[in-house]
Amino acid sequence: MKRSISVLLSLATLAAAPLAAEAAEEGRFDAQTFRPSAAPRDLVMIQKSEVIGHLSPTFGIYTDIGLDPLAVAAITTGQEIRAVGARLQVTGLAGIGFFDIFDVTMAMPFVAWQMSDNLRPLGTEGEIAPNALGDLRFNTKIAIPYLNRKAQIKEGFGMALTGNLNLPTGDQNAFAGDGAVSGGMGLVADYRFNFGLLVTANGGIWFRPDRQFAGTKVGDMANFGIGAEMYVVQRWGWSVLGGVYGSVSLVKFPDSPSQVPAEALMAMRWQWASGFSLTVGGTFGANCGFGAPVFRAFAGLTWQPSKSREQQEIDRLKQIDSEDPDHDGLIGEADRCPELPGVPQNMGCPDSDSDADGVPDREDKCPMTAGGRGGCPGAFIKGDEIKILDPVHFATDKDIILDDSKSVLDAVVTVLINNPEIRSVEIEGHTDVRASDVYNINLSQRRVDSVRAYLIQKGIDPSRITAKGYGHSKPVYDDSGCLGKDEELSEDCKFMTATNRRVVFRIKGHGSAPGRAVGGGDTVLSPRDSALDNGSVLDNNGVLNGASTLPSAGTLPKSSGVLEPRKGTLPGSTLDRSGAQPTPEAPDGTDKPAEGTDKPVDGKDKPGAKAPEAAPSSPKPGTPRQPTAPR
């Protein structure tokens, strides 16, 4: 297929468009329109909405050879001149993705060999340079939110925005560069079907400097592309690619669709688990315009690390549904939960959240305690310390706790209330170096006293907490060289002094929590203490050893001498608030002295008083011993 661009201009045409002729600068331009993408999953010249995987570096090289990419006609003779008769170009590629949202790529083309006719009929003696450097290109692709297929890469609709910037590093005289900065932007829309087919459409604009050579005008261009990819053998990563792409001049719009410079592309691609992808194919150019050769053959090799996110996405595309029933992109030994979708970081199993705080256990620094930042609460126990996520702030050179730190102390209160076995906590106060030792000791002591008072105010038993100010005796960092006001300190000094100024809650001892007084009194038995004041002992069932009468003369029920459940007092043994012992009531309702009452102080019996009770006689053999009150 032979093409030429007619550059014979009639006088009428020159008269009709004098301004346009003057606007285009006489000079050469970049004749290369084959600009392959550095993204391994793109369809060579036609892009997909899928961006390169997060922090996955990719590298590649494309080589292509085109026949008759630029042919013009001499104005005087009409002879066709091949300004670029054939060109072999090599393009180095590199790229990286970020957050599965956008990627950045670059391409550095190099014309390894090219040939042309003698350009004397066009006003230039000799042929063009056989090799030259091309314009350096930078590109980016940004997935549009809510249309980003990253979570369901094997199926669905996607869209992305693209942008590019070209720097004038190429040889303009060799038709390898525009000689000025150029760039553009575009839009990508595609749809991937779950049986391995993807269709995509691209559109955009390429802002180029206006150039005119031998009557051929080049300037801003509209880019377009329509393509598709279909897996032939999905598990092998073997697919076929096809599409049509081209650029339409916005300086001189074509008179008919047949004059649109376009190339039809066909290729095959193989993807391996090692990270390599090979693409081989060719294009056929339309019989018009420049840059669209009669035929072009190309081959490209790209690579990304086999353990990269980009390779994981490629591996997911290669999997068939029977191999991945839970559709999480993991198969075989890599998926320990083949029937439940999971994440690679959890070996294909769903994330667990033991404390139900919304942070998965694999990322939760406190997996058994619900919290906020990092999965930890504002305060939590770690070793011999109650850790706090945020420091306690005080007014400058004062012991006044700032309001923004009261929530931190409230979290400490919660820890102490929920862990009554913590019986002793020392509140340590520390300062930075910027004062005398005496001043720092005093300041730190006053501050921890304020903290202790706040905890007590919130209901913490004072016996559980002590406070001690250490001043600058135990710094975390050596801030001895950090003197002066805050605004005069370096960033390192600001960090060190801020870290040294701290409040630490050091756990000093554990033990059983104290019991509660029975009946509201002050005498308390600890959980493991079964001895009464008089030496009598309660066994595990609440039974007195050897007797059933308390010193107060209260007698236990006849049943078994066992205290009834949930009752905190014994019959007739309750003391009133004054501590006086009430006189027990006689059986007939009249007031009588209780048995066993002491004699008067003078040692004489009062009139009508009972004689002392005789000592009990020894029981007969086989007769159970009657319990008596202790003496």
Which of 204, 217, 211 lies closest to 180, judged by CA?
211
- With beta carbons less than 8 A apart as the criterion, state whether 543 and 560 touch: yes
* 310 DSSP assignment: H
Beta carbons within 10 angstroms of residue 275's beta carbon: 20
Which of 382, 378, 372 lies closest to 392, judged by CA?
378
Higher-scoring residue by pLDDT: 461, 22: 461
For residue 315, the model assigns a pLDDT of: 85
- With beta carbons less than 8 A apart as the criterion, state whether 251 and 220 touch: yes
Name the burial class of residue 31, with classes exposed (0-12), middle (13-18) and buried (19+) by CB atoms within 10 angstroms of its CB.
Answer: buried
Q: Which residues contact 10 (CB under 8 A, 6 or more apart)?
A: none
Residue 441 DSSP SS3: helix
Whole-angstrom Cα distance, residue 486 to residue 30? 58
Q: Over 70: is that where the pLDDT of 15 sits?
A: no
Residue 313 DSSP SS3: helix
Cα atoms in the 13 Å half-sphere on the side-chain side of 319: 21
pLDDT class of 109 with cuts at 50, 70, 90? very high
Q: What percent of the chain has pLDDT over 90?
A: 47
pLDDT class of 343 with cuts at 50, 70, 90? confident
Residue 478 Rama label (left phi>0; alpha psi -120 to 50; beta): beta
Q: Over 80: is that where the pLDDT of 173 sits?
A: yes
pLDDT class of 347 with cuts at 50, 70, 90? confident
Lowest-confidence segment of 18-22, 64-68, 216-220, 347-351 by average pLDDT: 18-22
The sign of the torsion formed by the CA atoms of 64, 65, 67, 72 equals positive
> CA distances (Å), 529 to each of 230, 269, 524, 544, in order?
80, 81, 9, 14
pLDDT class of 427 with cuts at 50, 70, 90? very high
Q: Over 50: is that where the pLDDT of 589 sits?
A: no
Helix count and strand count (H, E) for the chain: 6, 21
Say which amino acid occupies 130: P
Whole-angstrom Cα distance, residue 347 to residue 10? 73
Q: Do domains 25-307 and 383-510 have the same CATH topology?
A: no
Helix 406-418 crosses helix 437-457 at what angle (to 10 degrees)?
A: 60
Which of 539, 470, 532 lies closest to 500, judged by CA?
470
Whole-angstrom Cα distance, residue 281 to residue 299? 6
**So where are the chain's domains?**
25-307, 383-510
pLDDT class of 151 with cuts at 50, 70, 90? low
Q: Over 50: is that where the pLDDT of 199 sits?
A: yes
Which of 597, 600, 629, 603 lies closest to 615, judged by CA?
629
Q: Over 50: is that where the pLDDT of 51 sits?
A: yes
Whole-angstrom Cα distance, residue 413 to residue 456? 9
How does pLDDT run across 181-193, given as a tens digit for each residue?
999 999 999 999 8
What's the token pair of residue 210?
A: 């206006």
Whole-angstrom Cα distance, residue 411 to residue 400? 18
Q: Over 60: is that where the pLDDT of 275 sits?
A: yes
Higher-scoring residue by pLDDT: 527, 80: 80
pLDDT class of 369 with cuts at 50, 70, 90? confident
- For the chain, the distance separating the N- and C-terminal CA atoms, rounded to the nearest angstrom, is 129
Whole-angstrom Cα distance, residue 431 to residue 409? 19
Q: What is the mean pLDDT of residues 304-321?
A: 86
> CA distances (Å), 93 to each of 60, 279, 488, 613, in order?
5, 14, 48, 114
pLDDT class of 429 with cuts at 50, 70, 90? very high
Which of 447, 468, 470 lies closest to 394, judged by CA?
447
Q: What is the average pLDDT score of the chain?
A: 79
CA-based R_g, the chain, Å:
46
For residue 206, the model assigns a pLDDT of: 95
Q: What is the mean pLDDT of residues 265-276?
A: 96
| Token pair 């990819």 in the structure block, residue | 229
Would you mind telling me the total number of residues written for the chain in this entry?
Answer: 631
CATH number attached to the domain at 383-510: 3.30.1330.60
How does pLDDT run across 115-140, given as a tens digit for each residue?
998 888 777 778 899 999 999 999 99
For domain 25-307, give its CATH number from 3.30.460.20, 3.60.15.10, 3.90.230.10, 2.40.160.40. Answer: 2.40.160.40
pTM equals 0.55
Whole-angstrom Cα distance, residue 279 to residue 541? 85
- With beta carbons less than 8 A apart as the criterion, state whether 579 and 612 touch: no
Q: Over 60: is that where the pLDDT of 553 sits?
A: no
Beta carbons within 10 angstroms of residue 3's beta carbon: 18
> CA distances (Å), 552 to each of 299, 541, 557, 573, in order?
105, 21, 15, 6
Q: Which of 377-386, 430-439, 587-596 has the highest mean pLDDT?
A: 430-439
Q: Which residues contact 182 (CB under 8 A, 6 or more apart)?
A: 135, 165, 166, 206, 207, 208, 209
